[in-house]
Amino acid sequence: MEAFVLTARKEHAEASYQLMTVQKSFQDVALYFGLKPKPGEEEVTTSHLFTLWFEFCADFKVRWKRENKSISKERLKQAQLSVKRITGEKKVETRKINPNSLKERLRQKEAQVTSP
């Protein structure tokens, strides 16, 4: 029984030390972000910090989606312009074929040979 009590006291001491470390780290974070306690409270509470953090994350997510959408639209416009520019440069001009030209007479002969 004494071994159990000694082990429990040791674990309790470790847990207490970890709790104090976490509380100090939390206060350091609150101080770093410049949070002040709500009126009527002595210290910044975890619920206050995480409420502000949740609101920040939600706002950031909305803004992130808007920015990604606008960037995608801009890239699409650039791609469409480059496609137009490339296709505009490679425009093929066609000319009327002279019916008495050598090429036209050869095409007509080939068409007659392959038809029957």
Q: Which residues contact 20 (CB under 8 A, 6 or more apart)?
A: none
Residue type, 89: E
pLDDT of residue 92: 66
Tokens 């071994």 label which residue? Answer: 3
Q: pLDDT confidence of 6, banded at 50, 70, 90?
A: very high
- The C-alpha atoms of residue 63 and residue 25 are separated, in whole angstroms, by 30
- The C-alpha atoms of residue 15 and residue 8 are separated, in whole angstroms, by 10
The 10s digit of each residue's pLDDT in 33-91 is: 888 888 888 888 888 889 999 999 999 999 999 999 999 999 999 999 998 888 777 66
pTM across the whole model:
0.53
